[in-house]
Amino acid sequence: MNIRPFKCVFCVFWLAALEGLSCTLSLHDNFLEPLKSLGLQREAGEAHSKFSLRKPSLPDDDICYIVPGKTETLHNCNFNSTAKTFLVIHGWTVSGLFESWVAKLVAALYNREKDANVVVVDWLDTAQNHYGVAAQNTQEVGQEVGRFIDWIEETTNIPLEKIHLIGYSLGAHVAGIAGSHASRKVGRITGLDPAGPDFEGVHVHRRLSPDDAHFVDILHTFSGGTLGLSIGIEQPIGHVDIYPNGGSFQPGCNLRGALENIAHYGLLAMNEVIKCEQERSVHLFIDSLLNGAEPSKAYSCGSSTMFERGVCLRCHKNRCNTVGYDARRVRKARSVKMFTKTRASMPFRVHHYQLKIHFTAQTNQSVTESMLTASLYGTNGNAENLHLNVRGKIGTNTTHSFLLVTEEDIGELLMLKLKMEYSSSLLNMMWPWWNGDSPELHVRKISIWIGETQKKVVFCSKDLQNTNLLHEVIFVKCKNTWRRSSMRRKYKSE
């Protein structure tokens, strides 16, 4: 494998941080071995993986192993051939130990599917190598898992539709290779932030792809090359690819702060934050298992930029999906890219609103250095001082679309307040108008589309004499809106 040294060093730095270890020690230990792991070969027939059927009462203990070829181990481990079977597959490791998320995911799966078989695929010995070597090893490990699936089906007659592989980082590609090498397709593969280095842009036979299962769904949480960092794969590689928060910055993971601290603390400052970014995919999936009654919703959209404008919140023609366990396949010719916003902690669900605001003015002026602040008031609570992302300049007699997110369900919307805050440089520029002639940027009506309920509501200025955004403008539901809508429907039917 031809890996440029510069890229390889940074891959090891970044990916070592995912394991929550000292990056300095890991690099020292690995690089001072004269690359002997590159020449490591196993004896013929020696297994790369072990298959531990964990128990609901002991989700973090390996007390019963299923051994391919030994039918009695299925009986000894109480394998249920009529229930769903999950194969949880970890990723690259420096420590040679399971991360804490493994037991949490096992427990969450049993919480949702009481009678299931949750099998943890242990390839720690093989994964504990230089990243490039571990990435190569996914081929052999995946083939071995594929043979395990064939043996399970042949021995127990379990329907393959009931087999669900869940792979994290490199483990996602192991799952894909397993699916492609099994004699028949398994029901589902979930890729939790599949690894990017050495897999971005390669042929489908070397990575997870939609061909590997009847349904392949992906959660991308640390991709896109943000600030030069990309641990997860950016390209869509499933039937449904969901990019929470654009697939880059995750709320609560202070990546920018870590970059600022590198000068003081070195690359160790990246340790926890990089782990936080990629591992968020696992916790989003766990959240979907534990909080299935109120799942997060994702929306089909051409790009993250379009989604940030709020223009993709319609659910018609299967343009919406559920994040995590209850995601469903959308039957389209190519991968469907979907986006959602989340909170910083579990439960991650938020509520999405599109605000379409029409700005008017008496003169042809535009505003470029400004910040819109909105406050929503509903039957269940309030969400105040929320910033709207203003992209470019706001022109007069134009309609702009904004995405607004609330962390809590505020219920039915009753009132909205809107204010534009100008930067100090803009105020200085407008000083000639300041004595009595303030910037005449007005809003009289706001149309709101609610993603979670798929409902539209229109708000009008409470006081038509006070619509200048230099001051806070209050909006309430427009009167007789329902009558106009009824008349339009009546005319269309005639």
Pairing of strands 336-340, 370-378: unpaired
- In sequence order, which ranges of 304-433 are alpha helices (DSSP H)? 304-308, 424-429
Could you tell me if 184 and 297 lie in one domain? yes
Final residue in a domain of this structure, among 319, 340, 361: 340
Residue type for position 250: Q
Could you tell me if 241 and 263 lie in one domain? yes
Residue 90 lies in a domain: yes
Final residue in a domain of this structure, among 293, 320, 340: 340
Which of 10-19, 245-254, 266-275 is the most confident on average?
245-254
Residue ranges making up the domain that contains 286: 50-340
Give, as one character, the DSSP assignment of residue 451.
T
What is the reported pTM? 0.85
> Alpha carbon 464 to chain centroid distance?
43
- The answer to the question of whether 207 is labelled as a binding residue is yes
Query: What CATH number corresponds to the domain at position 139?
Result: 3.40.50.1820
For 415-445, what is each residue's pLDDT tens digit? 999 998 765 554 444 434 444 444 578 999 9
Could you tell me if 107 and 253 lie in one domain? yes
Could you tell me if 356 and 311 lie in one domain? no
Average pLDDT over residues 83-109: 95
Could you tell me if 285 and 413 lie in one domain? no
Number of domains in the chain: 2
For 162-186, what is each residue's pLDDT tens digit? 999 999 999 999 999 999 999 999 9
Q: Which two tokens stand for residue 16?
A: 């070592």
Could you tell me if 244 and 213 lie in one domain? yes
- In sequence order, which ranges of 66-188 are alpha helices (DSSP H)? 72-76, 101-112, 124-127, 131-156, 170-181
- The answer to the question of whether 343 is labelled as a binding residue is no
pLDDT of residue 49: 95
pLDDT of residue 423: 59
Could you tell me if 102 and 215 lie in one domain? yes
Could you tell me if 191 and 275 lie in one domain? yes
8 Å CB contact between 270 and 258: yes
Residue 5 lies in a domain: no
In angstroms, the CA 16 to CA 9 distance is 11
With 60 as the cut, is the pLDDT of residue 121 above it? yes
C-beta atoms surrounding 436 within 10 Å: 5
pLDDT of residue 470: 83
Residue 206 lies in a domain: yes
Average pLDDT over residues 224-235: 74
C-beta atoms surrounding 142 within 10 Å: 32
Q: Which two tokens stand for residue 378?
A: 């509903």
pLDDT of residue 17: 45
Average pLDDT over residues 388-413: 88
Could you tell me if 330 and 381 lie in one domain? no
